[in-house]
Structure 1
Amino acid sequence: MNLQKRRELFDRLREINPNPTTELEYSSPFELLIAVMLSAQATDVGVNKATKHLFPLAPTPQAMLDLGETRVRELISSIGLFNTKAKNVMATCEILLRDHQGEVPRDREALEALPGVGRKTANVVLNTAFGEPTMAVDTHIFRVANRTGLAPGRTPLAVEKSLLKRVPAEFLKDAHHWLILHGRYVCKARTPNCPHCVIRDLCRYKTKTSAP
């Protein structure tokens, strides 16, 4: 996909959604960090249902530790891998208080040093909480980047690096959100909704679906 098509692709996505953001509900960088940690192998809807009860009780690292791992585990028990996630949340809160004055660090290396935080989670936090032009490649973005020909790659890291090079600078801050939402609601895994896709004519996917 050449530069002209890439610009057109993001122009169209921006036109239908000028201010994209995560569907996770949060009110601080700390709450976003915890929500993204909980979202591994879980839906945003499921995470929001749990954090609706968790965050009012524990909006800070200290409050989370005061709440205790048992109570945290109970509150997130509807989410997959909740036992491991509860342990990671508590360990992360301890590190935030010990090493970062209770604040979420605006640094990739420091973020990835937190239990339960990998590259994708760090990218989401850096982009969504701090406005950094990062690209958190999940299954949706990986699929859209490869299907459309925007930034083909065999691994999430390869796609991430390709997107950072190929997405025009003016779109880079919001590109992560546009692509994930497009993959979640239009360019779905099993049956992409090609007839209602605003970038259909730019996409290189060979087996586009037709209107019923």
Structure 2
Amino acid sequence: MADQPLHNKKIAFLATDGFEQVELTKPWEAIQEAGANVVLVSPKDGKIQGMNHDEKGDLFTVDENVRSVAAENFDGLVLPGGVANPDSLRMDEDSVQFVRDFFDQGKPVAAICHGLWTLIEADVVLDRKVTSWPSLKTDLKNAGAHWVDEECVCDEGLVTSRNPDDLPAFCQKAIEEFSEGKHAAQTA
């Protein structure tokens, strides 16, 4: 379907308490409008807390626990930012393995803002060109990434952006990469 490039695609959003709400909701809406089935995956059951910067946002119902899903059942992955969210995810072995599996399977991944912390823990940024929230620059460089200050960067199916201001470009590029599917060079 020309107007729904993600028709028949299933995209996972991995998050837990403390995610930057707009970094989940805007990509969710755009990817859903593009025809994808979107699934909120978390290491926590029930509801997770969104944040609007440093203020509590809405609660979101988790669709699947990360321990009960497999990357092979999805066509792509989105990692929203927020400070607490990726900091918790990178300490959860199941979440880190779930992320790593997308790279092992050559599937597209889109991460914004602090969401790249989980990529560092999954050890998948070596020799990758990426962008992020500026405070992650040193962490990413130390993990072997090539960090740049750009609105949206795509490196073999890995889409990264800096902050909520970059969401229009981030969503557009994520949809493009998810519609293309497998990336041969997208490996851990």
Question: TM-score when scaled to structure 1?
Answer: 0.26
Point out the structure with max Rg over C-alpha: 1
Structure with the largest fraction of helix: 1
Larger % of strand: which?
2
Q: TM-score, normalised by structure 2?
A: 0.28
